[in-house]
Amino acid sequence: MKLGVYPGTFDPITHGHTDIIARSLRVFDRIIVAVAHNPSKRPIFDVAERVEMVKLVTKDFAHVNVEAFDGLLVDYVRRHEAHAVIRGLRATSDFEYEFQMALINRKLDDKVETVFLMPSEEYSYLTSSIIKEVASLGGALKDFVHPEVAERLRHRLRRPIQ
Ligand code: ADP
């Protein structure tokens, strides 16, 4: 039974994240989506709201659990006896940061492997930050996020419905 942990801020979950979850289910038997508190990133949704949205978006996937997490990722991975950390790699912008994180995590615990998955091309430019920007300017969100997530973004950013 191969278990993967997919950590992130998910502020909010986009189709890019969902694409990575779907792909990781081809490699792992079970996935835990670990939603980090990450106050340093100043998320617009609190962790409970982010967990709720990930649960909603992944409700039709079997073998996906969603949890909030705080603290060191390697401790979390060890505690759950997971086999690997899953991260998504977009175009080129993610590489340096992801490389650094993977090597630091390996230094902290050399049994923790990181697996990188590439999203579908259509999502390779998608970030939660750009979606928040589009939402705050009143742009259409339907190609990027689940309709309920779009609704919550509009509500949070107090823009009229498109
Ligand atoms: P973090 O703050 O940990 O980077 P994010 O929620 O921004 O959290 O991203 C979590 C993971 O999902 C990261 O590995 C990120 O590269 C990946 N990811 C985010 N958006 C996409 C996307 N559009 N395509 C592929 N991977 C993505």
Choice among 90, 106, 156, 159 that is catalytic: 90
Of the pLDDT bands very low, low, confident and very high (cuts 50, 70, 90), residue 160 is low
Q: Report the chain's C-alpha Rg in angstroms.
A: 15
Averaged pLDDT for residues 6-17: 98
pTM (two decimals): 0.95
Write down the pLDDT at residue 23.
Answer: 98
| Token digits of residue 90 | 């977009």
CA of 88 relative to ligand 1 center, distance in Å:
6
CA distance 73 to 78: 9
Using a 10 angstrom Cβ sphere, with 0-12 exposed, 13-18 middle and 19 or more buried, the burial of residue 1 is: exposed
CA distance 154 to 151: 5
Indicate if the pLDDT at residue 159 is higher than 60. Answer: no
Q: How many CB atoms lie within 10 A of CB 150?
A: 20
Averaged pLDDT for residues 108-136: 95
| Closest listed residue to residue 7, CA positions, set 80, 97, 67, 57 | 67
| Token digits of residue 86 | 């899953």
Q: Hey, which of 17, 18, 69, 85 would you mutate to test ligand 1's pocket, going by the most ligand atoms within 8 Å of its Cβ?
A: 17
Q: Give yes or no for a contact between 1 and 29, defined as CB atoms under 8 angstroms apart.
A: yes
Indicate if the pLDDT at residue 150 is higher than 80. Answer: yes
Q: Give yes or no for a contact between 65 and 31, defined as CB atoms under 8 angstroms apart.
A: yes
Least confident of 27-31, 38-42, 148-152: 38-42
Q: Return the domain boundaries, the chain.
A: 3-124
CA of 117 relative to ligand 1 center, distance in Å:
10
Write down the pLDDT at residue 112.
Answer: 93
Of the pLDDT bands very low, low, confident and very high (cuts 50, 70, 90), residue 18 is very high
Ligand 1, atom 23: closest residue by C-alpha: 16
Assign domain 3-124 to a CATH class: alpha beta
pLDDT tens track for 38-85 = 999 999 999 999 999 999 999 999 999 999 999 999 999 999 999 999
Write down the pLDDT at residue 146.
Answer: 98
> What is the rounded average pLDDT for all residues in the chain?
94
